[in-house]
């Protein structure tokens, strides 16, 4: 019998709001019981996309549920699709205590969550994440959004679900590239673990070294534990800083670089995870240049990234352009880029006094 995990997320800022994240195998078999445990809804609206519906519609048996199947792709994460969800909620006469269920990856989760946040000023919302990225990252923490033509996730809210149900079995149908997208965020957690101030010492970094093959084989025991550790780390950060006033920024390790790579290649060449993989290397470079970490840790961490093959070779991007795009990143405050930089084993600091030369050097070693 493979262990399943039940993790509590507590948001003290929100009148001690708390919810459960369930992680394990075969959770979908009891999905009707679970959603009814966490929501007193009379009706459920299950929001998914064509791909996930094609693979798993038969596995989800929820009484009193209607389905809305959206087209698949980040390009549909917009107002038009959001309206389709809200229209379906109106058409199905959902009431405030009724529940929108997001069944899919981060795109479905973010959009369905935003619809739930705004429908009748907030109806119930449950996440059933189906990609590794969604299970370890996007379904935890309550950020929901749609894209605007001028920026990703520009329009959104903080809206926490009633529960998250992460069934490890669904990861089997992900292709390797999608799996690696999740793995990039997981390696990121390993590099920030100490700064998450989690109640337990999970030693994620060592876990990743020990279980690499099991992870690529999707060993259910190992994957359940891995997803649990990552959710626990993210939850610990979110518990302390729900709305990114401070600590939550550490989750952006590698992301200032990654956003520049994605933007310079029009979001078409690399997955988010591939850009993050390269961004993690650049952040480690910066840390070494600044003397914040020693060569031993630097080499070990770069090796781990290479072993997981999450950072592809990127063609020569123009360094000047790269730097300018980084400055446009929404995390640049008062014209200064705030970098999350490793400052010791598994820990990071937020610094803003980094010179242009140092940034350029950190980029160029990866180009
Ligand atoms: N809210 C947050 O805190 C947060 C954090 C990180 C990322 N995000 C958002 O998440 C999105 C990316 O999420 P994603 O990587 O899950 O992308 P995605 O939702 O587009 O899913 C990736 C692909 O996998 C398919 N898929 C989903 N589940 C599958 C399964 N079990 N088997 C086979 N294929 C499956 C999808 O249909 C899609 O084609 C972005 O829009 C990003 O902005 C949000
Ligand atoms: Zn990310």
Burial of 66 per CB tally in 10 Å (0-12, 13-18, 19+): middle
pLDDT band (50, 70, 90) for residue 3: confident
Average pLDDT over residues 128-139: 98
Distance 137 CA to ligand 2 centre (A): 8
Query: In this predicted structure, which of 97-111, 160-174, 292-306, 313-327 has the lowest mean pLDDT?
Result: 313-327
Q: What's the angle, vertex CA 344, arms to CA 338 and CA 349, rounded to 5? A: 20
Average pLDDT over residues 345-366: 91
pLDDT digits (tens, 9 = 90+) for 256-306: 999 999 999 988 899 999 999 999 999 999 999 999 999 999 999 999 999
Query: pLDDT-based confidence at 331, cuts 50/70/90?
Result: low
Quick one: average pLDDT of 142-171? 95
Whether domain 175-367 has CATH 1.20.1090.10: the reply is yes
pLDDT band for position 333 (cuts 50, 70, 90): low
Tokens of 149: 């033509």
User: Within its chain, how far is the Cα of 56 from the centroid?
Assistant: 22
- For the Cβ of 131 lying below 6 angstroms from any atom of ligand 1, the answer is yes
- Measured between alpha carbons, how far is 10 from 295 in angstroms, rounded to an integer? 38
Domain ranges of the chain: 5-172, 175-367
pLDDT score for 332: 57
Q: Is the pLDDT of residue 365 over 90?
A: no
Separation of alpha carbons 83 and 89, rounded Å: 10
Q: Is 43 in the pocket of ligand 1 (CB under 6 A)?
A: no
Q: Of the ligands numbered here, which is closest to the C-alpha atom of 188?
A: 2
Cα separation, 358 vs 182, in Å, equals 29
Q: Is 69's C-beta closer than 6 angstroms to any atom of ligand 1? A: no
Per-residue pLDDT, averaged over 58-63, amounts to 94
Q: How far apart are CA 188 and CA 327, in angstroms?
A: 22
The radius of gyration of the chain's CA atoms, rounded to the nearest angstrom, is 20
Q: Give the pLDDT of residue 244.
A: 81
pTM for the full model?
Answer: 0.96
Output the six-digit token pair for 343. 């400052």
Q: Which atom of ligand 1 is nearest to the CA of 129?
A: 28
Residue 317 CB-density burial (10 A; 0-12 exposed, 13-18 middle, 19+ buried): middle
3-state secondary structure of 25: coil
Q: Is the dihedral of CA 105, 107, 108, 114 positive or negative?
A: positive
CA dihedral sign of residues 239, 241, 243, 247: negative
Ligand 1, atom 10, lies closest to the CA of 106
CB 305 within 8 A of CB 126: no
Model confidence pLDDT, tens digit, residues 194-223: 999 988 999 999 999 999 999 999 999 999
pLDDT of res. 161: 96
Span 226-245, average pLDDT: 93
> The domain 5-172: what is its CATH number?
3.40.50.1970
Q: Quick one: which atom of ligand 1 is closest to the CA of 182? A: 15
Q: Calculate the average pLDDT of the chain.
A: 94
């Amino acid at each position: 019998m493979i262990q399943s995990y039940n993790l509590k997320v507590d948001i003290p800022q929100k009148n001690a709001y708390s919810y459960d994240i369930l992680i394990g195998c075969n959770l979908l078999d009891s999905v009707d019981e679970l959603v009814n445990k966490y929501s007193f809804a009379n009706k459920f609206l299950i929001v998914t996309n064509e791909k996930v519906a094609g693979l798993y519609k038969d596995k989800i048996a929820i009484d009193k549920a209607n389905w809305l199947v959206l087209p698949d792709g980040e390009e549909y994460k917009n107002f038009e699709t959001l309206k389709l969800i809200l229209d379906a909620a109106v058409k199905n006469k959902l009431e405030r205590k009724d529940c929108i269920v997001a069944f899919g990856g981060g795109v479905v989760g973010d959009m369905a969550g935003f619809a739930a946040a705004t429908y009748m000023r907030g109806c119930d919302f449950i996440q059933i994440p189906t990609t590794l990225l969604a299970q370890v990252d996007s379904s935890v923490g309550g950020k929901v959004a749609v894209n605007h033509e001028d920026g990703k996730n520009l329009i959104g809210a903080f809206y926490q679900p009633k529960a998250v149900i992460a069934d490890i079995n669904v990861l089997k149908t992900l292709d390797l590239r999608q799996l690696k997208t999740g793995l990039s965020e997981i390696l990121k957690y390993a590099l920030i673990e100490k700064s998450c101030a989690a109640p337990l010492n999970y030693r994620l970094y060592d876990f990743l070294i020990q279980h690499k093959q099991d992870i690529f084989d999707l060993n259910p025991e190992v994957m359940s534990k891995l997803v649990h550790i990552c959710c626990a780390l993210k939850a610990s950060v979110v518990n302390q800083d729900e709305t990114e006033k401070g600590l939550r920024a550490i989750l952006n390790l590698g992301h200032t670089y990654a956003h520049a790579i994605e933007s310079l290649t029009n979001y078409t060449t690399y997955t988010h995870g591939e850009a993050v993989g390269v961004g993690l290397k650049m952040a480690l470079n910066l840390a070494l240049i600044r003397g914040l970490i020693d060569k031993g840790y630097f080499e070990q961490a770069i090796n781990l990234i290479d072993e997981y093959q999450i950072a592809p070779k990127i063609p020569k991007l123009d360094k000047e352009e790269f730097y300018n795009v980084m400055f446009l990143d929404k995390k640049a405050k008062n014209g200064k880029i705030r970098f999350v930089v490793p400052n010791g084993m598994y820990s990071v600091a937020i610094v803003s006094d980094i010179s242009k030369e140092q940034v350029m050097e950190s980029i160029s070693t990866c180009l």
